[in-house]
Structure 1
């Protein structure tokens, strides 16, 4: 079937809202701040998988999610999309979907992830008090991430809209939790950059940050999720205690033209 380029935000939102937990990032990218950097493709204007090509960062991103039963039509869509793909990009794909890109692309890196969704209220009691961060905290946030989470993707704009919480002791920022996506218009958010300084780990500071951020975002979100590596057992246990449930698995891939 011919490849179709989609431009109707309302129609895209309606399609993604049939499975919002799987499509949190796509729903967030319908916002005005990111829309101009997106290109959306499908094989059917009415139903079926959608592929998003995002060009707003240093590395292009391809997002194409589907439940296991819908992976075969997604593979067909990716095959049709091959002429439009950059030579190197980051991708979020379900297991096996990258087969459609071989032998044209090689996998440089594969990171299996869980998608977790907040399904229960976090516990009322937390061991520390976390505060909302502001742009005044930019330098300290950058310094903490550089020390404790150097591979983090950080968008300073998220400090403006109450998208980060942190715990300080004696003026020193020791832990943060933030968002990669926050769309009050679509009422979705994706948490990210949850980290604690190595000197302060094991004391519940990250738990306090995540709990405070979930409570803050509750007023503007109906679907609040996060991604976590499948081999990060301590983080998975923490998120489960805070009310998150695994709803999907997928792979984050770095792909380059063969």
Structure 2
């Protein structure tokens, strides 16, 4: 089939809600604040999203194993319409469909982990506070020191998407937040979970994740996250809280040859 650009949000939502664990980001990007920055493509099977709301464009194209060949065919059709440089999240190996027009740099392999419905999360050992816009400068400082490769959108703090713990001296020691949160579509993707290096080993990140998930679970049906496969401590923490792995994919930097 020829390449088709999609514009019907309700049809996209219905498609993605059939497998929300795989399509958390796409569902979040249907929200009013992000929708204007999205372009959606298909050739009749899987859907690819090109998001241009940040700095470098991002291509998201996920599929279950049986649909990966159809997704690769879609990527092949998309090559003439893609930017010269972008980041991509794709099934492992699917980037071969972008050759020979693009060179690919592998950044990391990631797990998609999901919190089951009706989670029984314990009371956190500490009581993280909900962060507000006034906390944004301290949050930026914490992320710069403890998680310099993080991606941060201040709008998500203003929307109540971050919690944090401060020390006796007032410094922000640990935080957990969301990369995507859509009440309309009932999805949240956790992100920027980190602890200041001199405060690690005390369970502060665990408390932040637990408190945030308990807060989100009141109104959010699908809570998930991405974690690098080589981050064993984080994977262990999430498994202890009940998260289970639902997919594996690659994060890539893609540039025209």
Same fold at TM > 0.5: yes
Q: Who is 1:187 aligned against?
A: 186
Q: Separation in 2 of the partners of 1:210 and 1:131?
A: 12
Shift of 1:131: 1.1
**Unmatched tracts of structure 1, length 5 or more:** none
Q: Separation in 2 of the partners of 1:10 and 1:80?
A: 25
Shift of 1:60: 0.3
Q: Who is 1:109 aligned against?
A: 106
- 1:170-227 Cα offsets, whole Å, 9 max, x none, are 1111000000000000000000000000000010000000001001111221000000
Q: Who is 1:205 aligned against?
A: 204
Task: Map 1:132-151 onto structure 2 (within 5 A).
Answer: 132-151=130-149
Task: Map 1:50-69 onto structure 2 (within 5 A).
Answer: 50-69=47-66
Q: Separation in 1 of the partners of 2:123 and 2:40?
A: 43
How big is the alpha-carbon RMSD for the aligned residues of Structure 1 and Structure 2? 0.9
Q: Does residue 33 in structure 1 map to residue 33 in structure 2? A: yes
Q: Separation in 1 of the partners of 2:157 and 2:93?
A: 36
Q: Is the contact made by 1:122 and 1:211 (CA closer than 8 Å) also made in structure 2?
A: no
- 1:135-158 Cα offsets, whole Å, 9 max, x none, are 010111000000000110000011
Q: Separation in 2 of the partners of 1:58 and 1:123?
A: 36
Shift of 1:110: 2.8
TM norm structure 2: 0.97
Q: Who is 1:172 aligned against?
A: 171
Shift of 1:122: 5.1
How many residues are treated as equivalent by the alignment?
A: 255
Q: Separation in 2 of the partners of 1:230 and 1:83?
A: 32
Q: Which moved more, 1:122-131 or 1:89-98?
A: 122-131
Q: Separation in 1 of the partners of 2:167 and 2:186?
A: 33
Q: Is the contact made by 1:4 and 1:42 (CA closer than 8 Å) also made in structure 2?
A: yes
Q: Separation in 2 of the partners of 1:244 and 1:42?
A: 31
Runs of 4 or more, structure 1, over 4 Å off, are: none
Q: Who is 2:119 aligned against?
A: 121
Q: Separation in 2 of the partners of 1:232 and 1:159?
A: 25
